């Protein structure tokens, strides 16, 4: 180790030296050593970069870990994964000693290495480790946990985060994402884990064959309830792992006319054609909609990189293509599931920030409806006889008994069933949305998400709102409901108006989810009714 001048903070220097000594990966050890030497030499920005990398550890929450792939405590690297898995193994050993643990991965930078490290630590800790055979969608990991009766599952993925990131996602023995207090218990166990170099690791885990994937595809193929199969589909996995499974699932379900966006069809961890690999982001589906128009498709489908989210696009009445919002997709598929459901006393669920229309649809079908906090970890636990759940951020669960989490592949299959059935009757998804509005009312949603430089600024805004919530918004009297301490959420409701405010869990933003609704138009003039609600929504957005 080179001599380090005094201008490098001693605590940062010493912490970095200890981490380098305990690292188990030659590449990241060299990466951090080079940066330490640059900081010692006074190179511009090196001390700040080093301090950021050593500012961790990454926080282990209900979504596990997410962070940039880089050396140091505050990044995703093999040493961090080894210590995280050691903590998870300690936590699991107290509950399911020797049980099955399934390990899966996507195709991001570092995923293969991190999955192998995870499996080696769990095997050495005495667990029966089953590894998925290749990079596969996150829903397949969730399916595997249930199908194999596993004690837990770990998926290496950062979902739709930027290309530089990766993550570590944990599922419990029900095949659902963990919830408190499991996250804090695991985080404590990670903090108590030894240095990575001292964590036992061993080979011996079982690599699963293709039978599990075939079982999943067979199950997904049974989801359609209609008989129509004439449908041309344009689709994209956005450079993620969903392309081949999506095509196979659709073919097995009878939808063979499928066209993938060639530039985005194969896994590529650099996501070269999109600024941000998320179907919700502006521009992310431009190539998809162009392909849909060029091929004369009937339906467009976009998956996010780990294929747990699904976005739909369709041709509107003016012959232009547009993507549906998460709420539009959510209510369409909710109606489709309930209209064909044979489960007695079924339950459907959505979150407090999603459209209220699903509740009206449930009432019309005599079904139960539940509202949960944001996140599928809560939706999956909404109650007994759950048959459907969705959240506005493009997450949909159409087969809770198979995958108790959002599943973009299964959602796409059911969406094709709905679209083909409609097309056989000469109708479109937008016609079906009109039907819902005429039956249940007009519901329009929007979001305002100001960005803050510091988390303390967001906290101060929430504090002020709680201390003095508005009595009216856009001319409508509203009342406030504080969901703390269960959630850092403030809900404002009035006649046909709803605003839900919460800090983002992943970005320095304060999110305000807006909804304006009105009863079905008595005169049947849906265009005029939508225009009036849209004006009220614009006024509400301005007020917020």
Residue 159 annotated in active site: yes
Which of 313, 317, 274 is closest to 297 using CA atoms? Answer: 313
- As a whole number of Å, the CA-based R_g of the chain is 24
Does residue 352 contact residue 372 with C-beta atoms inside 8 Å?
yes
- Say which residue the tokens 């344009």 belong to: 234
What is the rounded CA–CA span in Å between residue 10 and residue 8?
A: 6
Sort strands 232-236 and 442-448 into parallel, antiparallel or unpaired.
unpaired
SS3 of residue 326 by DSSP: helix
What is residue 196's DSSP assignment?
G
Asked if 403 contacts 138 with a C-beta cutoff of 8 angstroms, the reply is no
Alpha carbons 359 and 286: distance in angstroms, whole number: 33
Helix (H) or strand (E) holding 409: helix 408-424
SS3 of 1-67? CCCCCCCCCHHHHHHHHHHHHHCCCHHHHHHHHHHHHHHHCCCCCHHHHHHHHCCCCCCCECCEEEE
Compute the residue count for the chain: 544
Tell me if residue 67 falls in helix, strand or coil. strand
Which residue among 111, 120, 151, 159 is the active-site one? 159
- Residue tagged 């709420």 (tokens): 327
The owner of tokens 């590529």 is: 268
CA distance 51 to 10: 12
Structure tokens at 386: 């759950």
Residues 455, 509: Cα–Cα separation, whole Å: 8
Concatenating the DSSP letter of every residue in 165-192 gives EEEEEEE-TTSSB--TTHHHHHHHHHHT
**Dist. CA 433–CA 429, nearest whole Å:** 6
Question: Which residue has 């940039």 as its token pair?
Answer: 68
Q: Cα separation of 243 and 229, whole Å?
A: 20
What is the distance between the terminal CA atoms of the chain, rounded to a whole angstrom?
Answer: 55
* Run of H or E including 290: helix 286-295
d(CA 195, CA 38): 25
Residues serving a catalytic function are 159
């Amino acid at each position: 180790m080179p001599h380090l001048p005094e201008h490098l903070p001693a605590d940062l220097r010493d912490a970095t030296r200890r981490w380098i000594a305990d690292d188990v990966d030659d590449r990241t050890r060299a990466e951090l050593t080079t940066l330490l030497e640059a900081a010692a030499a006074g190179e511009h920005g090196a001390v700040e970069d080093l301090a950021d990398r050593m500012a961790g550890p990454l926080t282990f929450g209900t979504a596990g870990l997410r962070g940039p792939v880089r050396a140091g405590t505050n990044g995703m690297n093999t040493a961090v994964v080894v210590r995280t898995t050691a903590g998870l193994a300690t936590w699991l050993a107290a509950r399911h000693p020797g049980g099955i643990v399934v390990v899966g991965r996507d195709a991001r930078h570092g995923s293969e290495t991190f999955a192998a490290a995870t499996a080696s630590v769990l095997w050495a800790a005495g667990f029966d480790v089953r590894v998925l055979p290749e990079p596969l969608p996150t829903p397949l990991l969730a399916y595997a946990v249930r199908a194999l009766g596993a004690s837990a599952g770990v998926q290496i993925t950062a979902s739709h985060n930027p290309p530089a990131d990766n993550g570590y996602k944990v599922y419990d023995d029900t095949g659902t994402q963990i919830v408190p207090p499991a996250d804090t218990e695991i985080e404590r166990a990670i903090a108590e884990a030894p240095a990575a170099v001292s964590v036992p690791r061993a080979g011996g885990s079982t690599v699963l064959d293709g039978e599990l994937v075939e079982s999943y595809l067979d199950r997904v193929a049974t989801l359609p309830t209609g008989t129509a199969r004439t449908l041309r589909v344009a689709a994209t996995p956005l450079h993620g792992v969903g392309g081949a499974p999506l095509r196979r699932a659709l073919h097995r379900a009878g939808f063979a006319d499928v066209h993938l966006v060639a530039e985005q069809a194969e896994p590529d961890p650099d996501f070269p054609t999109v600024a941000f690999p998320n179907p919700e982001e502006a521009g992310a589906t431009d190539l998809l909609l162009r392909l849909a128009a060029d091929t004369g498709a009937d339906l467009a489908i976009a998956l996010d990189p780990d294929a747990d989210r699904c976005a739909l696009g369709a041709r509107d009445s003016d012959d232009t293509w547009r993507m549906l919002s998460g709420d539009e997709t959510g209510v369409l598929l909710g109606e489709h599931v309930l209209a064909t459901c044979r489960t007695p006393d079924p339950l459907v669920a959505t979150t407090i920030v999603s459209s209220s229309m699903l509740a009206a649809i449930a009432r019309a079908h005599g079904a139960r409806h539940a509202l949960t906090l944001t996140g599928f970890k809560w939706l999956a636990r909404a109650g007994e006889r759950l048959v459907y759940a969705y959240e506005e951020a493009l997450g949909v669960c159409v087969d809770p008994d198979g995958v108790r989490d959002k599943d973009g592949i299964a959602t796409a299959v059911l969406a094709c069933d709905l679209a083909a059935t409609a097309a056989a009757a000469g109708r479109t998804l937008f016609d079906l949305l009109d039907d819902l509005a005429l039956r249940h009312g007009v519901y329009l949603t929007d979001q305002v998400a100001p960005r803050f430089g510091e988390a303390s600024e967001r906290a101060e805004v929430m504090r002020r709102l709680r201390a003095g919530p508005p009595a009216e918004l856009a001319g409508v009297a509203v009342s406030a409901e504080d969901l703390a301490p269960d959630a850092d959420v403030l809900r404002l409701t009035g006649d046909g108006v709803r605003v839900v405010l919460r800090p983002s869990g992943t970005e320095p933003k304060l999110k305000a989810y807006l909804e304006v609704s009105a009863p079905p138009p008595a005169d049947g003039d849906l265009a005029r009714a939508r225009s009036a609600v849209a004006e009220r929504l614009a006024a509400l957005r301005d007020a917020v």
